[in-house]
Amino acid sequence: MLLNLKVISAVNNSIEVILVNTKGLAIIGTVTEKKVPIPCRVRLFEKNTGRLIAETLTDAQGNYEFDHLTAVKFFLVAHHPASTYNAIIQDNVVPK
pLDDT in tens, 13-64: 444 444 445 778 999 999 988 889 999 999 999 999 999 999 999 999 999 9
Neighbouring CB atoms inside 10 A of 72's CB total: 14
d(CA 95, CA 68): 9
Q: What's the pLDDT at 81?
A: 85
Domain that holds residue 52: 2-93
All residues at 6 or more sequence positions from 7 whose CB lies less than 8 Å from its CB, including other chains: 26, 27, 28, 29, 93, 94, 95, 96
CATH number reported for the structural domain that contains residue 49 in this entry? 2.60.40.1930
Q: Regarding beta strands 25-33 and 36-37, do their DSSP bridges make them parallel or antiparallel, or are they unpaired? A: antiparallel
Weakest mean pLDDT among 1-5, 12-16, 43-47, 92-96: 12-16
Domain count, the chain: 1
Q: What ranges make up the beta strands (E) of 1-96?
A: 2-6, 25-33, 36-37, 41-46, 52-57, 63-69, 74-79, 88-93
**pLDDT tens for residues 57-77?**
999 999 999 999 999 999 999
